[in-house]
Amino acid sequence: MRIIPPYNLFFMILYALLIPLVGTLVYFMSGRKEVLLIMPLLFALYLALSSREPLRRQRAARAGISPEWREFLLSRSAYFRGLDKDGRMRFERDVRLFLVDVRISGIGGRSLSWPIRLLIAAGAAAMLHGRPDWEPPLVDGVTVYPGMSFDRNYQVKKGNIAGQAPAGGPMLLAEGSMMQGFADAEDGFNVLIHELAHFFDREARKAGLKLRLRSGTVAWAEAITREWQRHDHGTSILSAYAAQNEAEFFAVASEMFFENPRPLHDAHPGLFEILREFYQQDPRQVLASRPA
């Protein structure tokens, strides 16, 4: 994650150039000298307003995380443990940026404990680690339900839904299932990674993302659909839920990609290549210190 995302930086520069340009045109068309006096004031006002968000993010990034938070991440995030010094510094910065940018709350807006919020941010930081120009596509934030699940009517501690990624609205997570996903770092199941993968998938499809594979350049949607269609779900090491559709296939594969990448690579190298190109990283290198 960047202090100023590239998309925002582009428009900041564009508008900063447009203000004096438009002011100059108005002056030549009207001949009014007051325009030359007002233009610097408007420019200064724009800079003050447009710099508020970058300055807020910069303060958050510089603040770092507390020793208590760092020890918690070391104990709960195998990904964080596997990073080198520079990687950990960038991971911690991304965690801070995520926490200041993304609203994380319980149902009804109730506040959550810092370990829950920190784990959510850590999961997002891992998925974004290879894509520093990407931002978490969670404009509506994250809502955490108590217990292990909720039902289709969003009744807490009922049903069997551990998480949801609605096209409009916040990402939904059941607290117990989310915590359980981080408790066992090698089981290949993590509801946070699964649901966040859905959001990344939708963003990639809208943006027309293209992947550079060994077979050539291919559109993201085409690559994952083709892999899902030719995948042998009967013998796959992925859970049966991956056979539902290409979106669930990608989300299930993402869980294993970040939690237990070596078996995924060995069993399905073509799928692994697609995920590696999508996330622009190879978690096997980060988790190399883990016993085989």
What mean pLDDT do residues 67-81 have?
95
**Beta pairing partners, 217:** 212
Statement: residue 270 has pLDDT above 70: yes
| % of residues, the chain, pLDDT over 70 | 98
**Beta pairing partners, 104:** 142
Residue with the larger pLDDT of the pair 61 and 72: 72
**Distant-in-sequence contacts of 262-266, Cβ < 8 A, 24+ apart:** 262/287, 262/292, 263/237, 264/188, 264/237
Statement: residue 213 has pLDDT above 50: yes
What mean pLDDT do residues 92-110 have?
95
Statement: residue 9 has pLDDT above 80: no
Statement: residue 157 has pLDDT above 60: yes
- What one-letter code names the amino acid at 119? L
Q: What local confidence, expressed as pLDDT, does residue 250 receive?
A: 98
Count CB neighbours of 133 within 10 A: 11
What mean pLDDT do residues 152-176 have?
94
Q: What local confidence, expressed as pLDDT, does residue 292 receive?
A: 42
Q: Are 246 and 228 in contact (CB under 8 A)?
A: yes
Statement: residue 48 has pLDDT above 90: no
Lowest-pLDDT choice from 35-49, 79-93, 133-147 = 35-49
Mean pLDDT, the chain, as a whole number?
91
Statement: residue 289 has pLDDT above 70: no
Residue with the larger pLDDT of the pair 109 and 44: 109
Q: What local confidence, expressed as pLDDT, does residue 16 receive?
A: 83
Residue with the larger pLDDT of the pair 290 and 262: 262
Q: What local confidence, expressed as pLDDT, does residue 169 receive?
A: 92
Tokens 């300055």 belong to: 55
- pTM (two decimals): 0.86
Q: What local confidence, expressed as pLDDT, does residue 290 receive?
A: 52
Could you tell me which residues come within 8 angstroms of residue 85 by beta carbon, excluding any fewer than 6 positions away?
Answer: none
